[in-house]
Amino acid sequence: MPIRQVIFLHNVEYMLPSPTEAPKIPRILALDVLRGFALGGILMVNILGMAYLFKADSPSASGFVNLFFQGKFYVLFSFLFGYSFTMQMRSADRDGASRTGRMVRRCVALIVLGALHLVFLWLGDILLVYGIAGLALLVLSRLSPKAALIVGGVILTAISALTVFAGGDGSENGPMFTPAEKATLLADYRGDFLSAAEARLEVFGALGFGSPVATALAVLPLFLFGLAAGKVRLLEDPAKYTRLLPRAQWIGLGIGGSLTLALNISQWTDTAPENVAVGISILASPLLAMGYAATVLRIAHHLKWFAAAGKIAATNYIAQSVITAILFTGAGFALADRLPAWIALAIAATIFLAQLAFSAWWTRNHRYGPIEWLLRKATYAFSPSHPPHSPQNPKNSHAPQTPTPPPPTNPL
């Protein structure tokens, strides 16, 4: 096996291949670190929905999650999706492939994977939403960076205003389920694998099958912010963003953090209507997420252990659902609604620490996680190691058709 060197130059990891090995697309350390960091926050939010089919029994635990995690880490993850979208388009251009074809295939794969994930593992799936919003982003992908920021800002502000002025909190429509229905659904959730899936479907149906589309609209402006950053390659050269980080911290942690604290206090003391608090948080949460991201980027060289988890983020995201399904549904220990909420949060932290260790081991021996491999397979419609027009695909390349050995790492 050829010996390869790894160097870090301007925050980008470059693989220096042997003469017989095709060059890899460089990875961006900042993206991987931020993505790995976001994974931990997402699990801290999701764990309460996984451990409790309806609502956690601890106002203090829920308040803690709402203050520090809820609405912040999905913002960061969505921004990174938009940024990565531009890298996918660049990859298509480099290979002489169709941007539209690749991205449609990738979005359809996300929709299919997300639908399966939603039914069989986790009701709060985001992959289905990302697939739908990704198709909308493709339509808007020719926007300039400035236009993408403006359109994203207008959409986000409009959603916030509509939420604030909608009035009411939905309670006037009555409870979604009666106590007897909740008991039946919880029993099904604690039942076998298929009965838990049926319970998820029933809850999903009550929420409305249009809910992923509505959520996709809320995610789209965050995609557009990431698209704008990716088009100027903001995170690919520290010289472009390091001077911005102190200001981003002050605005994000100062203004965003203060607004978030005030909104949570108003909800704890019941001094503001829920729709007003939620509407304002739609604008405050991205600010606080920006503060988190700026802080992480300033010390990213000390947080490289997040990067391995970020490289296989989709695999880790699905793995979180598999582990919690085993813990909380009848597919395993059926602990739903049986553990204190703070214990559930401790379990989330333990799962994430284990994933950091696993990811470090996996990425030393494998190029992709299993889910990343499937997504690449769908995106390229080729073996992930042999995208169109690559030097390892002589049939689709103008490079000399010399025999090459198989790639040195196993994608599975």
| pLDDT tens digits for range 10-53 | 344 433 333 333 334 457 889 999 999 999 999 999 999 999 98
pTM: 0.84
The strand order across the sheet containing 5-9 reads 5-9, 12-16, 27-28
Percent of the chain with pLDDT over 70: 83
| Interstrand relation of 12-16 and 27-28 (parallel, antiparallel or unpaired) | antiparallel
Distance between CA atoms of 67 and 86, rounded to whole angstroms?
Answer: 32
Task: Give me the mean pLDDT over the 99-121 stretch.
Answer: 95
> Which segment of 19-33, 148-162, 182-196, 211-225 scores lowest on mean pLDDT?
19-33
Residue 360 confidence class, pLDDT cut points 50, 70, 90? very high
Task: Give me the mean pLDDT over the 140-155 stretch.
Answer: 97
The amino acid at 154: V
Asked if pLDDT for residue 172 goes beyond 70, the answer is no
Q: Where does 127-244 have alpha helices with state H? A: 127-139, 145-166, 179-189, 193-207, 211-231, 238-241
Percent of the chain with pLDDT over 90: 66
Asked if pLDDT for residue 407 goes beyond 50, the answer is no
Q: What per-residue confidence (pLDDT) applies to 13?
A: 42
Task: Give me the mean pLDDT over the 279-294 stretch.
Answer: 95
Q: What per-residue confidence (pLDDT) applies to 175?
A: 66
- The mean of the pLDDT values for the chain is 85
Q: What per-residue confidence (pLDDT) applies to 209?
A: 63
Q: What per-residue confidence (pLDDT) applies to 382?
A: 54
Asked if pLDDT for residue 177 goes beyond 90, the answer is no
Read off the pLDDT of residues 315-336 as tens digits, 9 standing for 90 and up.
Answer: 999 999 999 999 999 889 999 9
Asked if pLDDT for residue 148 goes beyond 90, the answer is yes
Q: What per-residue confidence (pLDDT) applies to 61?
A: 94
Asked if pLDDT for residue 7 goes beyond 50, the answer is no
Asked if pLDDT for residue 300 goes beyond 60, the answer is yes
Task: Give me the mean pLDDT over the 249-269 stretch.
Answer: 93
SS3 269: coil
Q: Which of 123, 185, 107 is nearest to 321 (CA)?
A: 123
Q: What per-residue confidence (pLDDT) applies to 392?
A: 45
Q: What per-residue confidence (pLDDT) applies to 57?
A: 79
In this structure, are residues 196 and 50 in contact, taking their beta carbons and an 8 Å threshold?
no
Asked if pLDDT for residue 282 goes beyond 70, the answer is yes
DSSP code for 208: -
Q: What per-residue confidence (pLDDT) applies to 270?
A: 85
Most confident range (mean pLDDT) of 194-198, 270-274, 397-401 is: 194-198
Cβ contacts of residue 403 below 8 Å, gap of 6+?
none
In this structure, are residues 292 and 76 in contact, taking their beta carbons and an 8 Å threshold?
yes
Distance between CA atoms of 371 and 411, rounded to whole angstroms?
Answer: 10
**Residue 247: both structure tokens together:** 């200001």
Distance between CA atoms of 236 and 280, rounded to whole angstroms?
Answer: 32
**Adjacent-strand bridge partners of 12:** 9, 28
**Spacing of C-alpha 53 from chain mean position:** 22
**Adjacent-strand bridge partners of 6:** 15
Q: What per-residue confidence (pLDDT) applies to 237?
A: 83
Q: Which of 373, 372, 228, 236 is nearest to 310 (CA)?
A: 372
Asked if pLDDT for residue 368 goes beyond 70, the answer is yes
Cβ contacts of residue 377 below 8 Å, gap of 6+?
383, 384
Q: What per-residue confidence (pLDDT) applies to 399?
A: 41
Asked if pLDDT for residue 387 goes beyond 70, the answer is no
SS3 112: helix
Read off the pLDDT of residues 209-250 as tens digits, 9 standing for 90 and up.
Answer: 668 898 999 999 999 999 999 999 999 888 888 999 999 999
Asked if pLDDT for residue 179 goes beyond 80, the answer is yes
Task: Give me the mean pLDDT over the 294-309 stretch.
Answer: 93
- How many beta carbons lie within 10 A of that of residue 37, not counting itself? 24
Q: What per-residue confidence (pLDDT) applies to 378?
A: 92
**Spacing of C-alpha 260 from chain mean position:** 21
Looking at per-residue pLDDT, the higher value among 296 and 382 belongs to 296
